[in-house]
Amino acid sequence: MKKLFLASYFAGAASQFPAFAGEDVTGKKVVFIPTAGLHEMSARDREALDYINRTDKEALQNLGFIVEDLEISSAPGDVIEKSISNADCIFVCGGSTFFLLQELKRTGADKLISRHIEAGKLYAATSAGSLVLQKDIVADGVDDPKFGPELNGDYSALGFIDFYMYVHYGSNYWGDDDEYIRKYYADLDYKKLNDKQAVIVRGDKIEIVTASEK
């Protein structure tokens, strides 16, 4: 049974993870994949993404996980297979969905991760790491296909969910969120998530959970 925790920003929704997992994760291993953030970006965007990755990692550690980094675009194939296979949970960071999808496909990690999801391994993610579980990814004017040139226009993704997600809703990272949705998502079956929300999937059951305000 697939068990997915697809967040806009994992650290913002992490308080909902224990109930989703249904088990104590203390001492369990999570493989932490930051590859989506390796594309070219401005210094401002780099600072913001580094903050998100750092706080996501801290949130996983605070839950009790032992975190192991795995950068799939440069790791040897046997290291990728061993790290993912030995982990109790797979975590994929945010960044460029196009670059991430390109590297997942190029290395074969897409098929490896898919097999582990199908076998019931926990999968959690922030932003791009969540979006690659759609049936395909959307060129929405925010993320640029130029970051995945080796995809050659094939944006088919892992396909574990049959809807789309608009992440970071309410943060206005790219201007007016509702305007972006009208322009790029109006004809899609989508769910919008703010940075305290996650879509959780257990088998065929899907719901959106929201972390309480502190």
| Residues with catalytic function | 127, 168
CA angle 155, 182, 13 (to 5 degrees): 70
The answer for 65, left when phi > 0, alpha when psi is -120 to 50, beta otherwise, is beta
Amino acid identity for residue 95 in this structure: G
* Sequence letter at residue 121: K
Cα–Cα dist 105/60, whole Å: 26
- Token readout for 27 is 């001492």
Question: Is the separation of the CB atoms in 99 and 39 below 8 Å?
Answer: yes
Report the distance separating Cα 130 and Cα 23, nearest Å: 22
Tokens describing residue 1: 């049974």
